[in-house]
Chains A and B, each alone.
Chain A
Amino acid sequence: MSITLQEQPTTDRGFWNDTGKTGIGSWIFSTDHKRIGLLYFYSVLGFFLVGVVLGLLLRLELMAPGRDLMSAQTYNALFTVHGVVMIFLFIIPGIPGAFGNMVMPIQIGAADVSFPRLNLFSWWLYVIGTVLVLLSLFTGGGAPDTGWTFYVPFSARTGTNVSLALFGVFILGFSSILTGLNFVTTIHRLRAEGMTWSRIPLFTWSLYATAWVQILATPILGITLVLVIAERMLGTGLFDAARGGDPIMFQHLFWIYSHPAVYIMILPAMGIISEIIPVFSRKPIFGYKMIAFSSLAIAAAGSLVWGHHMFTSGMSDTAVLVFSFLTFIVAIPSAIKVFNWVSTLYRGSISLDPPMLFALTFILLFSIGGLTGLILGAAATDVHVHDTYFVVGHFHYVMFGGTGFAFFAAMHYWLPKFYGRTYKTRPAVIAWGLMFVGFNLLYFSMKVLGMQGMPRRYYDYLPEFANLNMVATVGSWILAIGLVLMLVNLFKGLFKGAPFTGNPWGGATLEWSTPTPPPTLNFITEPVVTHGPYDYTALKHDVREADSGVTP
């Protein structure tokens, strides 16, 4: 890999300047994958913050029993919108759209994705879908109050503006499919010379597995949502038992997509962790092939387990047994990843820079979330905790503690590369500490509350749940303070911070071999790959000494 040849910092700010075009048109109509990645990044980050504010409001309402802040109907609408925004506007497009677009083509040595215009189109579809979802909040019968899962029969009957929200999500689905299509084609067709399948960085491998899930599962969500719209507008009766339909069929169709969608959310996050752990341990990744294979295995096995969301819905006992068994199988490739990350850390020369802190936190929080997932995956125990706060705690551990923290890790790891400036370490570490403490106060309390029997989605609760709810709400404030501090420090650094040049962390993947920020075509000369992505012996110099001017 021609790492040392292209390491000089650019003086012309790379892709920010080198097309000679300025203004908003040079961004929103750009086909450069890095610009589209940044468009995605700021869009999803914006909606993440919207979702955070909604979540804080929910926690405020739940701070004490009884009515504190809002009516029950507003509460129903808020948790629905919190879910829809976080799932469909942040976490599904988040990592593939933002960091997948920014980093993946560079990692495989390509100048861009296979279909740059389609890539831009997928961002526009995201924007259109988003606008429709947001419109649905303020028009018609008001914000949807079904929960993000849109379960029939309620979603077919409620007077709120469910149809428009469903249509918005339908369009967002197409954005996801196109991104997946683009990534599969790019990874198959545009790899640089020498970039064999066993030299593909693990982040790209995880995006590849994710892309397949996006392509194969998302159309089913589209069809399902259209069927609910048809149910509402045409009264087709497909999900109405009184007219020969089957409401459980909706749950099947919905979860055939929405469970694999969980892997659309977590797999790229695992890819980020697989990049960061070896770099900050100064050690090649342990079990490269097994990690790559486990991404594919998770994608495949994860597509067969949707029934575990329906153990108490009236599904047949035989199906419950089969889905429960298959759910346990998914734990195997997930554990392979965790064990391989830990083995990579073993006897490594670990440096606790902010990206590494977030990555290590991912391993802990994801493991807690994953193991509580097994309690839910076992049919017998699930009956007890189904639809309690235990479930809410579980998926926030996996989705926020997992994907969210991986997203923050990626922000601290890759964004300086694209901005050519970096943040201060100390505030980032303090922010990480606050978030870690706040996170666990907030969501661990939820798990305990769930074990005690507090149902999810309820507006009010019994007095015996009051203490832990107060703890959770205080935790949400600490988490929010940490989040604000992290973002302020990061963006202050990216726009005004110390220059970031070269390869200060000593990554061996191709993105660290291009100029900083990368030029529009990514590489000055076409790269030829001669070694694997974690082969640090091939990096000859001690990067920390070579780039002593940089304080990451």
Chain B
Amino acid sequence: MTTHSDEHHIISYRKLTGIWLILLVLTALTVAITRIDLGGFKVAGALTIACIKAGLVIAFFMHMKYENRLLQILLFVAVVTLAIFIGFTFFDVLYR
């Protein structure tokens, strides 16, 4: 197919640095919440922050935000598949 455009989106240093700083803040936050007693939400909190960080890296550093829709869908399929694999396994563990 010839629908692929070879234009590369250039992300400014300003934006890249901004993302990097956000990632650093989130890392600090990950460490910080371990010091607060959240009970059962501790793991959920850590995983939420990790997901946001991974999302930022994929969207900006890996240019997924600027890729065409097809690539975004393909990545989405892969992530959903992984979520299902983990989810179904927990299905066993939770009800065992």
A residues with a Cβ closer than 8 A to B are 188-191, 212, 215-216, 220, 246, 248-249, 252-253, 256, 303-304, 307, 314-319, 322
Inter-chain CA distance A316–B70, complex, in Å, is: 38
The interface residues of chain A lying within 8 Å CB-to-CB of B85 are: 220, 256, 303
Q: Judging by beta carbons under 8 Å apart, are A256 and B95 in contact?
A: no
Contacts of B77 in A (CB 8 A): 212, 216
- Nearest CB in chain A: distance from B78 CB, A: 6
**What separation, in Å, do the CA atoms of A319 and B77 have in the docked complex?**
23
Q: List 6 A-B contacts (CB under 8 A).
A: A248-B92, A256-B89, A316-B95, A318-B95, A319-B88, A322-B91
CB-defined contacts of A314 to chain B, threshold 8 Å? 96
With a cutoff of 8 Å between Cβ atoms, the chain B residues found around residue A215 in the complex are 78
Which of A189, A216, A252 touches B89 (beta carbons < 8 Å)? A252
Which residues does chain A contribute within 8 Å of B70, judged by CB atoms?
188
Report B96 CB to chain A, min CB distance, Å: 4
Q: Are A316 and B89 in contact (CB under 8 A)?
A: no
Name which residue of chain B comes closest to A249, CB basis. Answer: B89
Does B25 belong to the interface (CB within 8 Å)?
no
> Is B47 in contact with chain A by the CB < 8 A criterion?
no
Beyond contacts A188-B1, A248-B92, A315-B96: 19 other A-B pairs, Cβ-Cβ < 8 A, are A188-B70, A189-B1, A190-B1, A212-B77, A216-B82, A246-B93, A249-B89, A252-B89, A252-B92, A307-B88, A307-B92, A316-B94, A316-B95, A317-B95, A318-B91, A318-B95, A319-B88, A319-B91, A319-B96
Per the bound structure, the CA–CA distance linking A88 and B13 in Å amounts to 47
B92 close to A304 (CB less than 8 A):
no
Residues of B within 8 A of A307 (CB): 88, 92
Q: Which residue of B lies closest to A314 (CB)?
A: B96
Q: What residues of A have a CB within 8 angstroms of the CB of B21 in the complex? A: none
Main secondary structure of the interface of B (DSSP, over half): helix
**Bound Cα distance A190, B3 (Å):** 11
Contacting pair B95 A319 (CB below 8 A):
yes
Closest B residue by C-beta to A323: B88
Enumerate chain B interface residues (CB-CB to A < 8 A).
1, 4, 70, 77-78, 81-82, 84-85, 88-89, 91-96
B4 touches A316 (CB 8 A): no
Query: Closest 4 CB pairs between A and B?
Result: A319-B92, A316-B95, A318-B95, A316-B96
Report the minimal beta-carbon distance from B23 to chain A, rounded to whole angstroms. Answer: 24
Q: How far is the CA of A155 from the CA of B83 in the complex (A)?
A: 28
* Chain B residue at smallest Cβ distance from A187: B1
Within the assembled complex, what's the spacing in Å between the Cα atoms of A252 and B91?
A: 11
Given known pairs A189-B4, A191-B1, the reply for A304 and B91 (CB within 8 Å) is: no
Q: Which of A190, A216, A248, A318 contacts B78 (CB 8 A)?
A: A216
Can you name the residue of chain A whose Cβ is closest to the Cβ of B88?
A: A304
Contacts of A304 in B (CB 8 A): 84, 88
Q: Complex: how many Å from CA A191 to CA B77?
A: 23
Decide if B96 touches A303 in the complex (CB within 8 Å): no
Which residue of chain B is the closest to A184 with respect to CB atoms?
A: B74
By CB atoms of chain A within 10 A, which of B82, B84, B91 has the most?
A: B91
Chain B residues with Cβ under 8 A from A212's Cβ?
77
Residues of B within 8 A of A191 (CB): 1
Residues of A within 8 A of B93 (CB): 246, 316
Query: Bound complex: CA of A291 vs CA of B72, how far in Å?
Result: 26
Is B1's CB under 8 angstroms from A316's CB?
no
In the complex, which residue of chain B has the Cβ closest to the Cβ of A246?
A: B93
Residue of A nearest to B85 (CB): A256
Question: In the complex, A190→B96 CA distance in Å?
Answer: 48
